[in-house]
């Protein structure tokens, strides 16, 4: 069984929470950012390394601070919970079942890329199919 670093994540999460508002970044839907998603319970998707991060697709921006995001993985799975995409010539999957609300304080300063309109529309349609 893999040991999860809950204590380290809580210390890092406090640093994220205390980021000054001057460090708030501007995001747009379809963008993919490195995001500190953290350490979670059970089979919920965790971040990696000392930043507890993974790529996240911005699905819906609610205001300058909050957005719905979907974490990405390099593990390719063929089922309705994983939507295959291509990003900079690499295959990934959007983990649709892990859609959640994020604060932009979790995002790092560099954008990884922007999903093409057709792939983004297909992901949104797959989300609707999943929840309906």
pLDDT of residue 53: 92
Give one word for 51, left, alpha or beta, with left for phi > 0 and alpha for psi -120 to 50: alpha
DSSP annotation of 2:
P
Question: For residues 86 and 93, is the Cβ–Cβ distance under 8 A?
Answer: no
pLDDT of residue 22: 78
DSSP annotation of 132:
-
Q: What is the pLDDT of residues 70-79, one digit of tens each?
A: 999 999 988 9
CA 112, CA 92: separation in Å to the nearest integer? 13
- The runs of H, that is alpha helices, within the chain are 6-17, 117-131
Domains in the chain, ordered, with CATH? Answer: 6-131 (2.30.30.110)
- In this prediction, the residues of the chain whose per-residue pLDDT falls under 70 are 1-2, 42-44, 109
Radius of gyration of the chain (CA): 15
Q: What is the pLDDT of residues 93-103, one digit of tens each?
A: 999 999 999 99
Q: Which residues contact 46 (CB under 8 A, 6 or more apart)?
A: 4, 37, 38, 39, 40, 52
Specify the pairing of strand 66-73 against strand 31-36.
unpaired
CA 55, CA 108: separation in Å to the nearest integer? 10
What are the backbone angles phi and psi of residue 127, rounded to the nearest 5°? -65, -45
Question: For residues 28 and 61, is the Cβ–Cβ distance under 8 A?
Answer: yes
pLDDT of residue 109: 63
pLDDT of residue 44: 65
């Amino acid at each position: 069984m893999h040991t999860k670093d809950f204590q380290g994540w809580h210390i890092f999460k406090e640093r994220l929470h205390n980021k000054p508002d001057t460090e708030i970044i501007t995001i747009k839907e379809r963008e993919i950012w490195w995001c500190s998603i953290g350490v979670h319970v059970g089979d919920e998707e965790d971040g990696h390394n000392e930043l507890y991060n993974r790529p996240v697709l911005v699905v819906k921006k609610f205001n300058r601070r909050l957005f719905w995001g979907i974490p990405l993985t390099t593990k390719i799975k063929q089922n309705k919970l994983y939507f295959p995409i291509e990003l900079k010539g690499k295959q990934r999957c959007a983990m649709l079942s892990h859609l959640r609300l994020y604060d932009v304080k979790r995002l790092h300063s560099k954008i990884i890329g922007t999903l093409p309109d057709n792939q983004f529309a297909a992901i949104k349609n797959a989300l609707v199919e999943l929840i309906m």
